[in-house]
Structure 1
Amino acid sequence: MSTLDSIKQILGVKDKNIDILSCQEADYKGKKVILAEAALVRAFHRCPLCKAPSNAFVKNGKKVSMILLNRCANKQTYLRLKKQRYHCRSCHKYFTASTYLVNRHCFISKQVHYRVLEELTEHQSMKSIANHCRVSVTTVQRTLSALTLETK
């Protein structure tokens, strides 16, 4: 097993389309964090929008997302994910490769949301849960409300 595969396993990234490029300690927003650089490239056989064959779309740059992961080595951990963008020549629309790791248009990983749910089972305030998980109180409230909407 290579070092980059080990890093991927430690971070809890199981998506085969994500390749870890590097991992180091860095400054981000004035704090020392663990920053893992990664690339997400998926092979599409059809356009997800118009169902045109793969020869109808081309690669069109990359979109960089800073995704918050669970803490590692008692430091805040981020995944700087470069997502491949595509342009469909058939429908003239753009789309970006996606992963199970985060919801669409979100920068907080599902791991962190699961951690929030785990902490909600214990008797503590939402503010302390937000501090433990390094998210806002609003994120804790949204995670709880999403859970209550699913159970109804």
Structure 2
Amino acid sequence: MNDSIKKMLRLIDKDLMITEISYEIFHKEKTLVINAILSPDPRTCRSCGSTVIDGNGKATVVKNGKKEIIVHFEQYNHMPMVMRLKKQRYTCKNCRTHWTAQSYFVRPRHSIIERV
């Protein structure tokens, strides 16, 4: 079912997992709400370039919670559609920087899908 919904939305991100679909009142309007999680596995730190696991076998880049955003899509069957997307946050223990997973269909610090 997860892949069918992603095909319907024209999303090809392999790290995106749709958890639930529901109808809710959102901004005083009945809205189709898609709950999803974006949790890709990091390869290196974006700031210092250190690998996920150091030479001693200890984790350098670790998961640090999730950040929830609301992404607005085109209407579906004349009904507004939004995605409640939980993006994975990461921390590098070497340089102490934090970053959030990014998806190709939403620009950083934006809340509207690229196609709209």
Tell me which amino acid in the other structure corresponds to 1:70. E
Equivalent of 2:36, from 30, 35, 38? 38
Could you say what secondary structure the match of 2:46 adopts? coil
The residue number in structure 2 matching 1:91 is 95
User: Normalising by structure 1, what TM-score?
Assistant: 0.70
1:106 matches 2:110:
yes
- Normalised TM-score (structure 2): 0.90
Alignment of 1:1-152 (within 5 A): 3-54=1-52, 55-112=59-116
* More strand, by proportion: 2
Q: Compute the RMSD of aligned alpha carbons.
A: 0.9
The higher-RCO structure (CA 8 Å, 6+ apart) is 2
Q: Structure 1 residue 75: deviation in Å? A: 0.8
The structure whose Rg is larger is 1
Consecutive unaligned residues of structure 2, counting only runs of 5 or more, are 53-58
Query: Is there any run of 5+ residues in structure 1 with no aligned partner, and where?
Result: 113-152
Aligned residue pair count:
110
Q: Verify the 8 A CA contact 1:4 1:22 in the aligned structure 2.
A: no
Q: State the shift of 1:110 in Å.
A: 0.1
Q: Secondary structure at the match of 1:38?
A: strand
Choose between structure 1 and 2: higher helix proportion. 1
Moved over 2 A (4+): none
